Amino acid sequence: MALARGVRYGATVLFAYPLPLYLPFAPLGLLPDPWPQLLAPVISIAFLAAGLWLWGARRIVVLAALLLSPVGLGVLVNSNFNSGLAVFGLGLAVWAKRTGHHPLVGLGIALSLWRPANCLPAIAVLMLSGWRWRGLIEAAVAGLLFLAPITAVAFLYQPDWLGTYSQLLPVYRGWAGLGPHLLNVAGPFAYAAAQAAAAVAGVWLLRRRTLAEATAFSFALTVLLATLAGAYSGAEALPALTLAANESRYRSLPAIASLIGWMQTAILLAINYPVGLVAYWFVLQTYPLLKKPGPAPPDSDAPMHVSRAQAELGSSSMERLSISR
C-alpha cells in the first residue's frame, strides 16, 4: 500500500520481502483512508481461513480454534498478508496435486513465496512427492505465468530493487528468533543446512503419512528458522494442527493449543517479553504427525486426510518419490 502512496521500495525496514511480492496489494493504497486499514486485516484473515479450509479444517470448531488462537488473531491484527497467502498457497498446491489440477499447483507454489523463509522446505517436499513430466511442466508454466508479469513490473517500477533488497537483508539478522541467531552464529551455510533438514524431515514423513501431512510438518518446522516479528510468525504451524485434528485422539488439540497459547501470551505481555515466542509453542503441537496414524473422527470429512489404503490406490508406483517418465 505504501508503494501506491509514493514511498520508495527500501525506504524503511518494513519492506522485508522482494518488491514483486508487494505489487498485487499495492492498489489498496489508492483507496482513501480508512479503507486500506479496514480492508487489509480482512483480506489477511480471509486468506488464512481459506487456506486452512484447503488444508482440511472443515469442522467449524477446528477452524474457529485456529483463527482465534494468538497466531490466527496475530495475522488479523498485524494485517499480515504474507502469512495468510503462504498458508493459502501451499494448501492450494497440495490440494491441487492430490486432485490432479497441476496448473493450480504452480499457482499455489507461487503464492507460497510470500513467505520465502518458510516455503522452500515445504516446496521441496511437494516436488519430491512424485510427478509425471506433463503435470510438472503444467505446474511450472502456471507458476511462471503468475510470477513473470509482477517481476517485470517490479523492474519497470524500480530497476535497482534487487540491489536495494540485498542491502535490506542484513538488517533482519538482528531480529529475534532462532533462525537469525543461527545465521549470525554459524553463517549462511548452517542456515541453509537447517532449511534442508526441514525438507528432509518432510520427505522422510512421506513414507508413513500423506503428502499434506508431510508438507505441513516441514512447513511448521520453518517457524523455527524465521524471524519472530509477532505471534503471527507461527501461522505456518497451523496447517499441521489442522491435519492432526483429523485423528480422533487429537480432535481437541487445536482448542487446547489455542487456550494454552493465550495463557503464554498473557504471561509474555505481563513480563514485557516479545509475544512472538508463542509461535514456538504451536510448532511443538505438530508432534502427532510424527506418530503412527490413528483413526479419523466419525464426522470428519477433511479431504486432505484420506486413508492410507486410498492413498496407495490413488498413487501409482511412478508417482512416489521420484519423477517418472
Query: Predicted confidence band at 100 (pLDDT cuts at 50, 70, 90)?
Result: very high
Unique residue bearing C-alpha cell 479419523: 296
Question: What is the percent of the chain with per-residue pLDDT over 90, rounded to a whole number?
Answer: 62
pLDDT at 136: 94
Q: How far, in Å, CA of 265 to CA of 261, rounded? A: 6
Unique residue bearing C-alpha cell 507460497: 112
pLDDT at 294: 67
pLDDT tens-digit series, residues 62-93: 999 999 999 999 999 998 989 999 999 999 99
Query: Predicted confidence band at 316 (pLDDT cuts at 50, 70, 90)?
Result: very low
Question: What is the percent of the chain with per-residue pLDDT over 70, rounded to a whole number?
Answer: 85
Prior bond to 34 cis, omega within 30? yes
User: H or E stretch including 65?
Assistant: helix 60-67
For the record, the C-alpha cell of 139 comes out as 505446474
Q: How far, in Å, CA of 242 to CA of 254, rounded? A: 7
Contact 48, 91 (CB under 8 A): no
Largest CA distance in the chain: 59
Q: How far, in Å, CA of 123 to CA of 147, rounded? A: 16
Residue scoring higher pLDDT (312 or 135): 135
- β 131-132/323-324 pair status: parallel
Unique residue bearing C-alpha cell 528458522: 225
Query: Predicted confidence band at 237 (pLDDT cuts at 50, 70, 90)?
Result: very high
Average pLDDT, the chain: 86
For the record, the C-alpha cell of 176 comes out as 529475534
Q: How far, in Å, CA of 225 to CA of 233, rounded? A: 10
Query: pTM score, two decimals?
Result: 0.87
Residues 155-171 have a mean pLDDT of 85
pLDDT tens-digit series, residues 181-222: 888 888 889 999 999 999 999 999 999 999 999 999 999 999
Angstrom CA distances, 296 to 50, 199, 211, 249, 306, stand at 22, 26, 17, 8, 9
Among candidate residues 13, 24, 20, the one with its CA nearest the CA of residue 47: 24
pLDDT at 87: 98
Q: Over 80: is that where the pLDDT of 319 sits?
A: no
Residue scoring higher pLDDT (314 or 199): 199
What residue ranges do the domains of the chain occupy? 18-324
Q: How far, in Å, CA of 294 to CA of 101, rounded? A: 28
